[in-house]
Amino acid sequence: MMFINPERSKFEGVVKAYSAELYRYAYWLCRDRFTAEDVVQETFARAWQRWSGLRDDRAAKGWLYAILRNEHARLHERKQLAIDPDQELDTLMDNSGANAFDAFEMRDMLAALPETYREALTLQVIGGFSCAEMATMIGITEGAVMTRLTRARQAIRRLIDPKPLIKAKES
């Protein structure tokens, strides 16, 4: 006779429900498929270790996003950059492939946003979080989240069509 652990079953359901959208968010943060997969895997590993501490099942989504965000931050804490102090700055090449004329124009615009604006916008668009949920996850006020979202949208509008701003300044 096989016993089914109800907590494990509940956790597996959460993994199935949120793994795809957590991966999308991780990919936006990392911009690398393999790193995003690793971050999501670490997120679920940490979530499982602390699963008994989750008091409200309805908070699982926000809790997982917060863990993922922290895992991404840990990734950068451990990252060692190979820097050659003798290399001339003019010889460095940008290998990011970001080009305004590519088919990835929106991705480039998002990349051009300051991290704080990009984070709020991707949490709302990809994660579907409310301003209150994002405020709790990021650790700022709800008003600050709304400000960041507004400024992110304005910046993208300026990148898409800078002409209206130029005309307004000439008047």
Q: Please provide the average confidence, as pLDDT, over all residues in the chain.
A: 81
Domain(s) of CATH 1.10.1740.10: residues in the chain:
6-75
CATH 1.10.10.10 residue ranges of the chain are 91-167
* Greatest mean pLDDT range, 8-12, 18-22, 56-60, 98-102: 18-22
100 pLDDT band (50/70/90 cuts)? very low
pLDDT tens digit sequence for 124-135? 887 888 888 889
Under CATH, which architecture does the 91-167 domain have? Answer: Orthogonal Bundle (1.10)
The more confidently predicted of residues 91 and 115 is 115
- Dist CA 142 CA 153 (whole Å): 17
Rounded-to-integer distance, Cα 51 and Cα 48, Å: 5
Asked if pLDDT for residue 57 goes beyond 70, the answer is: yes
pTM summary value: 0.55
Say how far apart CA 109 and CA 45 lie, in whole Å. 33
pLDDT at 16 over 90: yes
Hunting for tokens 């989504």 — which residue is that? 61
* Portion of the chain with pLDDT greater than 90, in percent: 32
What contacts 26, CB < 8 A, 6 or more positions away? 35, 36, 37, 39, 40, 43, 68, 72
DSSP 139: T
pLDDT class of 162 with cuts at 50, 70, 90: confident
> Residue 73: which region, alpha, beta or left (left: phi > 0; alpha: psi -120 to 50)?
alpha
Residue type, 104: F
Range with lowest mean pLDDT among 32-36, 118-122, 125-129, 146-150: 125-129
The whole-number average pLDDT for the span 56-65 is 88
CATH topology of domain 6-75: Rna Polymerase Sigma Factor; Chain: A (1.10.1740)
Whose CA is closest to 66, among 121, 8, 129? 129
What radius of gyration do the chain's Cα atoms show?
20
pLDDT at 155 over 50: yes
Cβ atoms of 71 and 36 within 8 Å: the answer is no
